[in-house]
Each structure stands twice: as structure tokens, then as C-alpha cells.
Amino acid sequence: MTSTESRGRIPAGREPEYRNLSGVAVFKRFWPYLQKERLRLLAAIVLALVSAAGETVLIGLFAHMTDHVLVSGSFHDFTRTASLWVAVAAVSAATSFGAGLITVWTGEKFLLQLRDRMLAHVLRLPPDFFGQGRLGDLMARFTGDIEAVEALVASGPVQVVSALFSALFFAGAAVWLSPSLALVTFAAGPLFWGASRRFSTRIRAVSGKERAAHGALTTVLEESLANVELVQAYNQQDAQSTRVHREGARWMGTAVAQARLTGAYAPLAAMLETVCVLAVIGAGAWEISSGRMSVGGLMGFAAFVGYLYPQIQSLGGLAVTASSAAAACERVLYVLDAPASIVDRGPAAASGTGIEPGGASPGKRTVVQFDRVGFSYPHHARQAGVDDVSFTVTSGGLTLVTGPSGAGKTTLTKLLLRFYDPACGRILLNGRDIMELSVTQVRDLITLLPQQTAVFHGTVAENIAYGNPKASGKQIRSAARAAGLDAVVEDILPDGYRTVVGPGGRQFSGGQSRRLALARALARETPVVVLDEPTAGLDVASARSFFKTIRRLAAERAVIVITHDLHLAEDTDTVLVMDHGRLIDDDGRHHHSRQHAA
């Protein structure tokens, strides 16, 4: 017996806590995603520093022009100073443009890589993960939340360094002009910082609620639009609108609370800045009256202060932004840290099974064996697992698995495709434990036709070739013909196999969509095929025609059919009856199957 922990990991049933993550911890966590862009980010920072230095020089030139041009009336000094002014301004503007452009490019590249990494991880998570949350909320994490992460990790460093060094440049210039006035100016720094710290703590809490409310609203909207036919058929338009309004009102409340806090910070900082500037001007007037400062010096100093305080305010604002982004980071980390249900032991050669992907050729024998397999779903006590299940399926024969709902039938398919790994026992493919193969290798050898038919946006040919992108036109048409779909495509659809179908396949009836899904499964040409309720939603005649195709499929492949329809048992070679996770009949006699299932 092997423990669940040693055979695989199951995601926890609740969201991990990241409440104590600091901005530094978050930055360290996401910084590796910028590994290839660090030189560009460094270039953006250098350009931002040059631009800040240029602005400092420009203010010095303004002070010089005031004293030596405006007061003295020297046109010669004006020409020389103006020429230098234009040159420095051009350099400052060019470097500022370059820094902004590189920062945006780097930020968008970061978003692209992070979104790709998140999706790649999510697509490898077990079905359990998607049952824990709602799709709309997950979508919100892929959009607004990762944009907030980018603002902290990618754009944030450039903005912080630019604001910090700009403040240092302006402060140094202010000290050089008048140390006494500089002391008055610097006294405001702690006031700005204290205000930002006080606001950032409250904004972080509100931002978490706002993002959760936005995810809930997105979910309700997605459900309403995806199920619009059901909503209309049940006359639930008003009820669904009420749900959307309720979630929208909740989001509005949190958004207004967040806006109230962030909006209050800017006027408060502006008022502090106004008071400080007036204090500086008053002290400067006293310096001028005492003969210790010129008018140009005071105007230059006032300009430095006018540039300094916005940089200090910007630093405080970045602290507020970081607090807001921290809430988004927590939601993104929940997705990235969601544990996989299985762990590959490492690469292994599929040739060890004696079969290869596409290996459904005549003469190749395929054997699938469940050997005392046991499994249960942690955190989902009511979801049926399996207990001590053993049976064998070989190519050339058709095996039907039946039983009441919740008997554990679908769990067998999840284990076979390694959505989960058994807690005990083994699943063998031509004598090889599938856990010795990678997940990719296992799924390249097994085709699943799920109970819910999926149709993707694209052409009919692209939908059929979804599981085998290298399929030729001949293979696509052959699969459609075998599934009984060829006549529909050629005779009814305007552009044949090039007809574009939308998500959900509204151009098809339920039976035609089912045949499209079967054609997709046939196009994969794998040695093992699992069909979950393949005739669901079909009339009796269509179901029998559909099943004849499946019967022909079993001549060369190992085929497992999971169904409640006992009429199909008449055309199968082996019938397995499941109940409460256990195999209660595997002798293949149809009358026993019906008796147990009843």
C-alpha cells in the first residue's frame, strides 16, 4: 500500500493565506520573471536618472537667467543661457521618452510572461482546483490582478528610482542655494511619508475586498451570458439581473471606498505642499530683505521645492500603490502556488509500454489493467472514489462500465488519464505502471471523449484536429466519415470543413456536436479510448448508429465505455458494474449487469 502523499498531492480545499507578505517578499517572488529584461530595466533607470539630472540643471539655468538676464538686461547672457537651456531640455525630454517607452515595453513583456506562466500552471491543475472557485474570479486574476503585480514589480522600480534620485537631486540643489531654507523644506518630508504610511495600510485591506468583489461580478456575468438560453427558457432574466446588480453594487461599494482613500491622499498631500511652499517663500522673503539671497536664488529655490515635493509625494503614492498591488499579488500567488495533484517521477520512454502515440495499427495488442486500485478525494468526502478495483481491458474487445450515479465510474477515467494518482494499487498499460510515465506520455496514448461536448471557436477542421494538430485533411475527413459527420459537413455547412463555428457549436444540433466530438477523438488515433456517456442526448436510432461506430473502433483499440444506458450492454464484450466505489460484477453477463444496476 502506498500513501496518498507518496503517490501524489491534492490541492487544499481553501485558499492559502498570504496576508503577512511584505512588499519586499512579493518583489522577490516575482523578480525572477524579469530575468531576461533586467538590462532593459537598468537602461530605463539610467535614462530616468539622466532626465532627472537634466531637470535639475534646467532649474539652475532658470535661476541664473533671472539674476543675470532679467535683472541685468544682458541679451548676450540670454542667448548663451537659452541655447544651453534648449540643449539640456532636449536631452531631458529624449531620455524621459526613452525611459517611459522601455518601461512600458518591459512591463508588457512581464505581463505576457506571467500570464503565460499562470495559464501553463493552471492547465496542469486537477479538476479539484476548478471546483474550489468560480471561473469569473479566476479570469479576473489573469487580467486586473496581474496588471497590479506589474505596476509593483516591473514599472515600480523605475518609478521608485526616478522619484528617489530626482528628490535627491532637487534636495541637493536646494541645500547648495540655501541651507537654512532647505531645513525648512525638509521638515515636510516626514509629514508626507507619515500620511502615505497611514493611508497605505487601510488601502491594502480595501483593495483586497475590491478585487474579490470584482471577481464575483465577473463570475455572475460570465454565468449569465454563457447560459443565456437557460435563463430565457426559465424566465429568469429578472433574477439574473438582480444577481448581477447585487454583485455590481458590492463592487461599487468597495471601489468607492478605495477611491475615497486614494482620493483623500492626493488633496492632503497637495495641502501639505502648499503650506510648505508658502513657508519657504516667507522665509525666502526674509532672506532677501536681509541681503542673504537674490531674487533669482529665491525663484530657483522655489522651483526646486516645487519639483521636490511632487517627488516626495510620488514616493508616498507609490507606497499606497504597492499596498493596493499587494492584495492583487496575494490572489495571483494563490493560482501560482496551487499544488498539482500528481508529480512526475521524471522522463520515461513510452516505448516501455510496447505502444506509441498513434499506435492503433492492426496487430498491435493493447492491455489496460487496474490492479487493486484505491483512491479517495481529500476535502470532498461526498465525491465517490474507488476501493480495491481490479479489471483488464484489451484491444479487440469493448468494455462497458455502468452503475448508479456516484458509483465511481468517472473516477476511473480520471485515474487512467492521471488527473490523479491512486492512493494504492497500480494502473498498468501493457504491463507498465503509468506512474512511471510522464503525464504527457500517458495522455498521448489515451483519448477521452468527455460527457460534456466541447466546441471551440474555429473551423470544423480545426475542431476535429484539436487533439492531433498534425492530422492531414484526409485524416480529418476519414475521422468525420467514421463518426457519421461527413454528410452534415459537406451538404449543410456553407464552407464545408472550413466553416467557422463559434464556442458551443450553435450551428450543430446536440447529436451533431456529439459526432464532432467523436470525430475529434478518432482523429487522435490512440491505442486506448475512453468514452463517458457517448450516447447521452441522442435518440434511440442515433444512439445505435453512433454505437456501431464505437464497436468498429474497438476492433483495433482498447475501448472503455462509461454509461447508464444498459441497452448498449447488448453490443459489448465485457460489462463492469460499479457501486459505492467498488466493482460488484465483472463476469460480463448482461442480465447480471442489469440486475445490479437496477
Q: In CATH, what number does 366-597 get? A: 3.40.50.300
Q: Quick one: CA dihedral 223, 135, 119, 19, positive or negative?
A: positive
**Backbone torsion region of residue 190, taken as left when φ is above 0, otherwise alpha when ψ lies between -120 and 50, otherwise beta:** alpha
**CATH architecture of the domain with residue range 17-336:** Up-down Bundle (1.20)
The pTM for the full model equals 0.68
Most confident of 90-99, 225-234, 258-267, 300-309: 90-99
Q: Grid coordinates in use for 411?
A: 473516477
CA torsion angle 554 560 565 568 (round to 10): 20
- How far apart CA 333 and CA 182 sit, in angstroms, is 44
- How far apart CA 307 and CA 424 sit, in angstroms, is 69
Confidence check: pLDDT of 410 > 60: yes
Backbone angles phi, psi at 40, to 5 degrees: -65, -40
Q: Which pLDDT does position 14 carry in this prediction?
A: 45
Could you count the other beta carbons within 10 Å of the beta carbon of residue 504? 15
Q: Which residue has the higher pLDDT, 538 or 247?
A: 247
Mean pLDDT within 37-48:
88
Could you count the other beta carbons within 10 Å of the beta carbon of residue 379? 13
Where in the sequence of the chain do the CATH 1.20.1560.10 domains occur? Answer: 17-336
Q: Which pLDDT does position 229 carry in this prediction?
A: 58
CA distances from 516 to 111, 339, 399, 495 (A): 36, 34, 23, 16
**Backbone torsion region of residue 418, taken as left when φ is above 0, otherwise alpha when ψ lies between -120 and 50, otherwise beta:** left
Please say whether the beta carbons of 460 and 493 come within 8 A: yes
Confidence check: pLDDT of 198 > 60: yes
Name all contacts of 201-204 with Cβ < 8 Å and 24+ positions apart: 201/323, 202/261, 203/258, 203/261, 203/262, 203/320, 203/323, 203/324, 204/323, 204/324, 204/326, 204/327
Nearest to 416 by CA among 451, 453, 375: 375
Mean pLDDT within 455-471:
85
Most confident of 163-177, 192-206, 523-537, 578-592: 523-537
Confidence check: pLDDT of 108 > 80: yes
Confidence check: pLDDT of 116 > 70: yes
- How far apart CA 128 and CA 341 sit, in angstroms, is 9
Where in the sequence of the chain do the CATH 3.40.50.300 domains occur? Answer: 366-597
Residues 6+ apart with CB under 8 A from 235: none
Residues 6+ apart with CB under 8 A from 183: none
Q: Which residue has the higher pLDDT, 151 or 562?
A: 562
Task: Give the mean pLDDT of the chain.
Answer: 76
Confidence check: pLDDT of 354 > 60: no
Exposure of 169 in the CB half-sphere (CA atoms within 13 A): 23
Stretch among 216-220, 369-373, 573-577 having the lowest mean pLDDT:
216-220
Give the residue ranges of DSSP H helices in 123-188.
Answer: 127-132, 135-140, 146-153, 155-177, 179-186
pLDDT band at 359 (very low <50, low <70, confident <90, very high): very low
Mean pLDDT within 102-125:
86
Q: Which residues are registered as beta bridge partners of 449?
A: 531
Confidence check: pLDDT of 3 > 80: no
